[in-house]
A and B are shown apart, each in its own frame.
Chain A
Amino acid sequence: MAVAIFVFIAWVIITVYLFVPRRLSTEENLLLFFFFTIITINIFTILDLNLQLIQHSNEVKMFISFLIHRNIIIPLALIIFVNLMSNIGSKTKKLIITVLIFLTIYLVNLVAFGIGLLTCDSSSLYLPSAIILAALMLIAFLTMKLVMKLPEGKSV
């Protein structure tokens, strides 16, 4: 069941990505996707392996769902976020998009906790989870700004 749920969520995210208007080039999208995945994996590993605050399930089916969540859903949702941010001019629309994407990733994260894909020792997982996702979105936004400023020509 967990695999089916997360494959479905990943499919929705991939479909949305394919239809979202993209101002960023292929290189920029790839660069940001690689970067977001690296950051997400690092955060999950530090929280899991080192701090043991959030732990993933060791059951194989759950682990596959965890990989889909960590390696596809979160980085691709961030890619959709930065593409929309670079494409929309209005500040109100930007705010709405930010809130919507934050809520989407947050809800998927809650589903992950709800079905036992991720477990947390702390009694309250809502606030720390929200802070981590907000930090990820902020990093994503700042990285997008930085990547867009990179020169187009050959490196010096």
Chain B
Amino acid sequence: MYTIYNQRFNSNEWFVIGMLIIGGLAVWKLPKRFSVKESLVYFLYFVFVGIIFDHTVGIKPFDFYDVNDSSAYQLMDFLSYVSFGPFGYLFIYLYDCFKIKNSYNTIYIFCWTMSALVTEYIADILGVYHYKNGYEFYYSFPIYLMILTSDLLLYKVLSSKKADADLKSNFHGH
């Protein structure tokens, strides 16, 4: 049936709750730059890709890893995906806030990928992830690159649509 790694409320649960609190506080306290809907898109995008990847490579026939205390799907697993959300928002927020130029996109994505890998490594040590069938944490590197690049593309598409809409409304206004 299920593989049970531990049944206590310990390091892995505290890590997920800690990430939720840190991320949530950052999103709440930072001055707002986007509309509610746009903010929710950036927030939900990371939850969406997190769940898609985990529920693709983390289930049979691949079954590369389990999340948290057992191989069954638990509330804490879901919360660990929700904890990705604030970082998706912050990734775009900081990009927009510092007005990072296109020539620095690669460096920006690389820095975030490295910090995501370090976070995953810490999460692995604390028992959030349990790798199986030969999977190693650094295999996530290309996945993070892909997710962050697509998130930035999403921001660019939404920004250009917003700019077009502003231009149209200004044109009709005059």
Contacts and interface: CB of A to CB of B under 8 A. Distances in A.
Interface string B34-51: 111111110011011001
Contacts of B41: 27, 30-31, 34
- Interface SS of chain A: helix
Interface of A: 25-28, 30-31, 34-35, 37-38, 41-42, 44-46, 48-50, 56, 58-60, 63, 67, 71, 147, 150-156
Nearest to B44: A34
Contact of A26 (B48, B55, B60, B158): B158
Contacts, number: 79
Interface residues of B, number: 29
Contacts of A35: 44
B61 interface: yes
Contact of B73 (A30, A45, A59, A71): A45
B32 A154 contact: yes
A156 B38 CA distance: 13
A25 B37 contact: yes
Contacts of B135: none
A147 B35 contact: no
A87 B59 CA distance: 38
B164 to A, nearest CB: 11
B72 interface: yes
Contacts of B32: 154-156
27 contacts: A26-B157, A27-B35, A27-B41, A30-B154, A31-B37, A31-B40, A34-B41, A34-B45, A34-B47, A34-B48, A37-B48, A38-B51, A41-B55, A45-B59, A46-B73, A49-B59, A49-B72, A50-B72, A50-B73, A58-B60, A59-B61, A147-B37, A153-B35, A153-B36, A154-B34, A154-B35, A155-B32
